[in-house]
Amino acid sequence: MSGLEELSREELIALTRALMAENAALKAEAAQLRERVAKLERLVSRNSGNSGMPPSADDLPGRKRPKDRAAGGAGQRRPGKQPGAEGRALAWSDDVAEGAIIDHYPRGSCGCGADLARAADLGVTAAHQQIEIPLVVARRFQHNLHTVACRCGTVHTAPRPAGVSAAPVSLGVNLQAWCVYLLVVHAIPVHRCAELVACTELLTWYMLGGRDMDTFKRFVLADLTGVVVHDRYQNYDAADLGTRDHQLCAAHLIRDLEDCAETYPHARWPRQLQMAMRGLIHAANLAREQGKDTIAAGTLTMFTKMFRGGVAVGLSEVKRVPGPPKTVTQPVGRVLLEVLRDRTDDVLRFAHDLRIPPTNNQAERDLRPAKTQQKISGRLRSEQHTRHRYAVRGYLSTAIKHGLDVMTVLRDALLGRLWMPPDPATA
């Protein structure tokens, strides 16, 4: 006899009602899950073509890129001016500023040997108007305030002109206004505004290609020399690179330690490690400014000891979870602490060789305008256009880093007078 046959009528009714209630609860839970899955699928399907998301988010894992506009289709349009749109062109004007009419005459000698400067003027054969602005160049002005003595014996000193600071060296009002305009109206970062009057002696080169190891080997690794400064991205830190010296970006490590400090608010080791790394960075910068080749021995020893002590304490507090790496997730900070312990030389290399920068900030600053362009306007129309754009950007960035005026270099390039950086091998 089965268990159900032994139940009374009332017990069967109660069991049936319980099963019906459980079934209803399961149906409700299933409906909620279906609704949640639908919302998640919708979120994943969002991209720059069907929502207000920036184009840079189209590259995130699981995202579906919008259909290529160039492929045509309903609701799509071709690049450039649309059929029926009002056209615009530069129009001839008789309103030319005084002194802006420039006469050009043939130069040299005629075939007969006569000097063309003495030839008879037959009048204007062709006229070409050009809308132009003065070449923007930052110039240094020196204001000397003289003191004079009157015949009566009174001494007078010339006052500083309006807008001239009491400091020995300052930025002029026009340049300040220009920088404020770029910062506020066009949201240009401060460091890019500073490039109008400052530079560093480095090169910039943009490579358009995939992020796979094969591309990295063929186009980057082939010409790579010196110390590789990076943020532990797998391609830069792979064993395929061979035997090379590395400098792990201190800025990224300090940010990772900030995550540890927030995860373990009562722990002291994250702040201690941050203090040690920042102290070494400051000491290295100070030594370079003073023309020294090394950090003061006492300072180096103090911060290095602080660094090693912080790593030891962190490892003792954040225990490793046993098990295969692919199946076990380690606690926050554990892998980072092991990197700081096992690769101390790669973390603190900058403190022992002042030629090595502690961070890859320069590379990220050079790359940031490209990412900004991607966020604002999306991808460029073609791979060829993209290559041209980054060739120009890399050319101008390199010129700035060599102390040249970017507008002059750009103007000369448009006129066919290209500048080339000096060859390090012959410099």
Q: Residues 69-96: pLDDT tens digits?
A: 444 444 455 656 666 666 677 888 888 8
Q: Note down pLDDT in tens along the chain; length 427 residues.
A: 455 567 788 888 888 888 899 999 999 999 999 988 888 887 777 776 666 566 666 666 666 666 654 444 444 556 566 666 666 778 888 888 888 888 999 999 999 999 999 999 999 999 988 888 777 667 788 999 999 999 999 999 999 998 888 888 888 887 777 777 677 666 776 666 665 454 344 566 655 555 556 655 555 555 566 777 777 766 667 666 667 788 898 988 998 999 999 999 999 999 999 999 999 999 999 998 899 999 999 999 999 999 999 999 999 999 999 888 778 888 899 999 999 999 999 999 999 999 888 887 666 666 666 666 655 555 555 667 777 777 777 788 788 778 887 778 888 888 888 888 887 666 5
Alpha helices in 186-246 (DSSP H): 190-194, 213-219
Alpha helices in 138-295 (DSSP H): 173-184, 190-194, 213-219, 250-263, 269-289
Distance in angstroms (rounded) separating the CA atoms of residues 426 and 123: 53
Residue 198: CB partners within 8 Å, gap ≥ 6? none
Q: State how far the alpha carbon of 326 is from the alpha carbons of 62, 322, 329, in Å.
A: 21, 11, 8
Query: What per-residue confidence (pLDDT) applies to 335?
Result: 92
Query: What per-residue confidence (pLDDT) applies to 257?
Result: 93
Query: What per-residue confidence (pLDDT) applies to 114?
Result: 92
**DSSP string of 260-295, one letter each residue:** HHHHSTT-SHHHHHHHHHHHHHHHHHHHHHTT-SS-
Taking the domains of the chain in order of start, what are their residue ranges? Answer: 250-359
Query: What per-residue confidence (pLDDT) applies to 2?
Result: 52
Q: Residues 130-139: pLDDT tens digits?
A: 888 777 667 7
Distance in angstroms (rounded) separating the CA atoms of residues 413 and 396: 10
Query: What per-residue confidence (pLDDT) applies to 198?
Result: 42
Query: What per-residue confidence (pLDDT) applies to 84?
Result: 64
Express the helix, strand and coil content of the chain in percent, nearest 5 each. 45, 5, 50
Q: Are 160 and 143 in contact (CB under 8 A)?
A: yes
Tokens 């950007």 label which residue? Answer: 393
Mode of pairing for the β-strands spanning 147-149 and 155-157: antiparallel
- Token pair of 369, please? 């305008």
Q: Residues 219-238: pLDDT tens digits?
A: 555 556 677 777 776 666 76
Residue 310: other Cβ atoms inside 10 A: 24
Amino acid residing at 2: S
Q: Residues 282-321: pLDDT tens digits?
A: 999 999 889 999 999 999 999 999 999 999 999 999 999 9
Q: What is the DSSP letter of 158?
A: P
